[in-house]
Amino acid sequence: MENFAFYSPTQFVFGKDTESEAGKLVKRFGGSKVLLHFGGGSVVKSGLLDRVKKSLDAEGISYVELGGVMPNPRSGLVYEGIDLCKKEGVDFVLAVGGGSTIDSAKAIAAGVVYDGDFWDFYRGKRIEEALPVGTILTIAAAGSEGSPDSVITYEDGMYKRGASGDAIRPKFSILNPALTQTLPPYQTAAGITDIMAHLYERYLTNSKDVEVTDRMIEALLLTMVHEGPRVIENPNNYEARANIMWAGTMAHNNCCGVGRSQDWLSHTIEHELSALYDCAHGAGLAVTMPAVFKYELSHDVMRFAKVAVRVWGCQMDFDHPERTALEGINAFKNFLSSIGMPVTFGELGAKEEDIPKLVDVLCNGDGRTGSISGFITLNEEECAKIYKMMM
């Protein structure tokens, strides 16, 4: 196991009706003037935003609003949010929504207290300072509610890039599984896929002898395999929603990823798909992962066999472990298809003729020099091959 530091100071408040505690929590973490940041109309229509405002009012906390966050959140709204916060003297950013809203809120929080262009952070500068951020989560997916990460799409060129820093870890996150019950099945499934991707990307490691984190990742994958179909069958299953929600947070606060190298090639390769076609991130991952994993299989057959046996219940073929390994990848692909996810390029609206453009941005965009690295290293030709495997 490699040396590591682990720090996850977010206060999680989990369960039914917990959004009513938002005001008290903002106050506890020093907020007096809040930016209420959200996406489309659903948090307005559902009455959630009103309940949050009521909770802020009860504590005498004032607020300004900025809605309109899109999936794959854009730089334009971040600039707008930074200006608004500066003008209004905002001292706390409260995200009400999913990963996109939270990521946008984190970008604003970092940008407000930074003299330069906030995009510097997405070019690799570490975030050292930010306004405090809180979240009220409405979809179990990105894990942004407990992570120090944010992913934003830069509109001039449609680059999708990530930034990181403990300063943007949420001070608190309110997780009410009931809020996720109104999600359409496709969004629910995309969230499940994103959570499983966070687990697989940590599982695919070149570190040896990391049994504790292997087992923890497997535990969370097994939870998704058990609860995913239950929630697709009955969207109002609170218990299944609750298990998925906590698994989503544990999958990405890194308690199961410490001390080991991680992969993240699937995320990197997918980012170009959702940036270009504006597909749901989870849907893009469902198409990307099986292809990437098949390409990676020969690099470490036993690792893929291990997850096949332990998570997918495959019988170990001791004479031909690569068959077990492949069976596990196919079982995962079938699972994704069974919960309603696309598994081919065409289903995403992606086109073969775009592959050279995708590969060029992927391997050469924004400071990269002809390759990307994770579990293995991939050059342009190999990336093109993987995109073709998705067809």
Q: Which residues bind a second copy (CB under 8 A)?
A: 1-16, 18, 177, 208-213, 215-216, 218-220, 222-223, 226-227, 239-240, 242-244, 246-247, 250, 255, 258-259
User: Least distance (Å) from a second copy to the CB of residue 14?
Assistant: 5
Which three-class secondary structure state does DSSP give residue 165?
A: coil
Sheet holding 133-137, edge to edge: 62-66, 33-38, 92-97, 133-137, 172-175
User: Least distance (Å) from a second copy to the CB of residue 4?
Assistant: 5
User: Least distance (Å) from a second copy to the CB of residue 384?
Assistant: 38
Q: Cβ–Cβ contacts within 10 Å for residue 154, how many?
A: 19
Distances from the Cα of 158 to the Cα of 9, 152, 196, 348, 363, angstroms = 33, 10, 26, 17, 14
Residue whose token pair is 């992570």: 147
For a second copy, give the closer residue by CB, 21 or 380. 21
For a second copy, give the closer residue by CB, 158 or 222. 222
For a second copy, give the closer residue by CB, 247 or 343. 247
Comparing CA positions, the residue from 358, 359, 302, 312 lying closest to residue 333 is: 312
User: Least distance (Å) from a second copy to the CB of residue 195?
Assistant: 11
Residue whose token pair is 């040396």: 3
User: Least distance (Å) from a second copy to the CB of residue 18?
Assistant: 7
User: Least distance (Å) from a second copy to the CB of residue 223?
Assistant: 5
DSSP secondary structure code for residue 370 in this structure: S
The residues with which 379 forms a beta bridge, in sequence order, are 371
Residue whose token pair is 């809605």: 67
Which positions ≥6 away from 374 have C-beta within 8 Å? Answer: 201, 204, 262, 263, 264, 265, 268
The residues with which 137 forms a beta bridge, in sequence order, are 97, 175
> 359 with 384: CB under 8 angstroms?
yes
User: Least distance (Å) from a second copy to the CB of residue 27?
Assistant: 16
Q: Cβ–Cβ contacts within 10 Å for residue 382, how many?
A: 16
For a second copy, give the closer residue by CB, 205 or 288. 205
In 234-300, where does DSSP find H-type helix?
Answer: 238-252, 265-277, 281-296
User: Least distance (Å) from a second copy to the CB of residue 221?
Assistant: 9
For a second copy, give the closer residue by CB, 4 or 41. 4
Which three-class secondary structure state does DSSP give residue 372?
A: strand
User: Least distance (Å) from a second copy to the CB of residue 328?
Assistant: 18
For a second copy, give the closer residue by CB, 11 or 377. 11
User: Least distance (Å) from a second copy to the CB of residue 9?
Assistant: 4
C-alpha neighbours within 13 Å on the C-beta side of residue 205: 23
Of all helices (H) and strands (E), which one includes residue 383? helix 380-389
For a second copy, give the closer residue by CB, 24 or 33. 24
For a second copy, give the closer residue by CB, 129 or 352. 129
- State the Cα–Cα distance between residues 249 and 8, nearest whole angstrom: 11
For a second copy, give the closer residue by CB, 251 or 286. 251
Token output for 256? 């199961």
For a second copy, give the closer residue by CB, 309 or 372. 309
Of all helices (H) and strands (E), which one includes residue 331? helix 321-338
